[in-house]
Each structure stands twice: as C-alpha cells, then as structure tokens.
A and B are shown apart, each in its own frame.
Chain A
C-alpha cells in the first residue's frame, strides 16, 4: 500500500487557502479604490457637511474620538518642544476635538460631549481674519489656508467654541494628508482629505463605538443625519450667537 505523505497534504491544503485569500483580496482592493476617487470638480454648495452628536451616548472618560482624530491628522506625531514644561505643553498642544463635561447646576446632571469646530454658516473666525486665510468652503467646511495664515491668532480669540489651535514650534514629523508648520492656526476640517477622496465618514465617527457621532450632508433630506435631525430634538451650542452651526447636539 502506498504511504500517504501527510506533509505534502498539509502543504497543498495551506496553498489552496492562500490562493483563495489572494483571489478575494484583489476584489476588495479594487472596490475600495473605485469608491475613493479623488475629487476632480470644485466643491459646490449643493452639500453642507455637518455632525450630529448624541450626548446621551457619549461615555464619561472615553477619549476614542480624540485619539482617532489625533492619529488621522498627525497630531499625535507632535512632540513636546524642548525645554517646555508638561503643563505648558498640555495647554498649547493642538486639539481638534475637546472632550467637555457640562453640568446642570439645578439638577446636578452631567453631560459629556466632544466639542470641535462647529463649522458655522457665519463663522466669526472668517470675519476677523485679516488675510483671508480663514475661510468657509462651498460645502460648509470652515478651514485655514495655511499658505496665507500669518499666525496672528485673531480667529482663536473670535471663536466662541475654543476650537482652534496654534502651532508654536517647528514640526518634525509630517503627514501627507494634514500638512502642518510653525506659526499657523488649525482646527477640525471634517477630515477634508476624506471628503475630497470620496470617503463617507470622519475619523471620529469611525472611532466612536457608541455611535454618538454621525457625519453627513445636512442638505440631503435622505441622509442619515438629516433624518435624525428631523426626528430628534437637537440644539446648536451658543445658538444665541446665530451662527447656524453645522455641528448639532442632542440630549443636552
């Protein structure tokens, strides 16, 4: 009787699995490339991007959205400047999202929420910018053109949401998607590189395991965010300023 070569059988079985995997992988890869086509036409005001934050789902002590934002936009690659104290660095470190806790003093109810650039329709930062570096893109994203920013920081003072950060020192490690250098102001840009590459979410939305952050087009009545806004009771932070923010909060 012929002896079965077990080693050869194992090899064939492993090889077959490996072949199956490579057959699947190119298909997946091709699909993701097809979805993520870089933008070729100028952005228009047919869309207005925004966020809906459900504060009832935002967990106390969770920092996942901030960490994801830091990683996506290269903020975690910044190092404490030489000679700076920890306290100073903690104050000056760029932050595109801040985790904020608010308390109703009458009832004692506490609410956690992420606060980032609110992408106002009438942004005070754009009003005060002396060079036109601070601007609002047609699709509603408020951002800084760092080629024209002179680092005066008027916008940081004008912003009621404390959303902007300043880069105080030279940046050693840079990423392609989020250029950054000494002397410029920056803030949340709703992952603008993802918008221009046709992706559908933001890093913070992807990172939130509770689903507290929802990104979408406020002008599309069929988008998830528009449907949620039509259903839930939501507020704008500092609605009294009549800035018509693109970021809305529910549960506060």
Chain B
C-alpha cells in the first residue's frame, strides 16, 4: 500500500515537472479518483511491484499466446485482469480508460516514452461480457 502511494506521488511529481506528450490515449477524459481502482485496495499485485514494473509486458505477451491458441484464461497474467484491477473510476463512478493521460498505463509509458499497442484492439476499461 505504501509503495503504491509512493508511486502515485512520484507520478504526480513527474507530470508536474515534465512536458508529457500523449501518444494515442483518449482525450478530454475526466481523471480517475485516487484510490478508486481495485488495485488501490490491495497490498500487492500478482508479483512484487519492482518485478511487475520491469516485466509486466513479458507476462502479458506470454499470456496472450496461450490464451489465443490454448484457450487458457484462468491465470494471473491476463490483460483483461490487469485492466479490471487497475482501472480507476471518475467522480461519477464511471471507469476511466487505463490509457488516458495520467492513468495507470499511460502515466508511466508517457514518462518513459514507450509506445504500446494493446489498446488499439483491446478495451482499456472493464466492459460487460456481452453475454
């Protein structure tokens, strides 16, 4: 919890001190309320935070192949699971896309200058299953 709070403060400081260019996330989105994501209420992610910061993309990439080709969906490493847990809500209680400026994914990726392509196809916030 303490670590997540520290990360939050760090991100706020970063966004204040750097001019951040938004890559492709949705524009004009109301920011999420701090502490509104499921992850904010948990102590740890599926692995320790330092490991997740450096390796989350490896986990997701490995997972995508076994999900698409082998149909395995019950794992800790699914992108849908990441989004479900890390998407925050705005003041109206609506989910904010994780790739919107300053949100969970975009916050770090903008700072580090990493362009990522997940949300060209995948939903950036939890959606109903359709069925």
Contacts and interface: CB of A to CB of B under 8 A. Distances in A.
B70 A171 contact: no
Interface stretch (B41-49, B51-59, B103-111, B119-127): B119-127
A197 B78 CA distance: 14
Contact of B120 (A170, A197, A199): A170
Nearest to A73: B130
Interface residues of B, number: 26
Interface residues on A, range: 35 or more
Contact of A72 (B69, B122, B131): B131
B69 A135 contact: yes
B69 A176 contact: no
Contacts of B80: 176
Identify whether the interface residues of A are mostly helix, strand, loop, or mixed: loop
Contact of A39 (B73, B120, B129): B73
Contact of A174 (B65, B70, B127): B127
A219 interface: no
A180 B71 CA distance: 18
B72 interface: yes
Of B69, B73, B75, B128, the most chain A CB neighbours within 10 A belong to B73
Interface in B32-89: 64-75, 80, 83
A143 B67 CA distance: 12
Contacts of B68: 143, 145, 147
Given A37-B74, A40-B72, A42-B66, A180 B121 contact: yes
Given A72-B131, A193-B129, A203-B131, A175 B123 contact: yes
A75 B121 CA distance: 13
Of A42, A74, A176, the most chain B CB neighbours within 10 A belong to A176
Contact of B127 (A135, A137, A176, A191): A176
A15 B70 CA distance: 49
Nearest to B67: A196
Interface in A40-85: 40-43, 71-74
Contacts, number: 84
Given A176-B80, A194-B131, A42 B71 contact: yes
Contacts of A168: none
A72 B130 contact: yes
A203 to B, nearest CB: 7
A147 B71 contact: no
A234 B72 CA distance: 33
Given A147-B65, A175-B123, A175-B128, 19 more contacts: A38-B73, A38-B74, A43-B71, A135-B69, A139-B71, A174-B127, A176-B80, A176-B122, A176-B127, A177-B127, A178-B130, A179-B122, A181-B120, A182-B120, A194-B131, A195-B71, A196-B67, A196-B73, A203-B131
Interface of B: 64-75, 80, 83, 119-124, 126-131
23 contacts: A38-B74, A39-B72, A40-B72, A42-B71, A72-B130, A72-B131, A73-B130, A138-B70, A146-B121, A175-B127, A175-B130, A177-B129, A179-B121, A181-B120, A181-B121, A182-B120, A193-B130, A194-B131, A195-B71, A196-B73, A197-B73, A203-B130, A203-B131
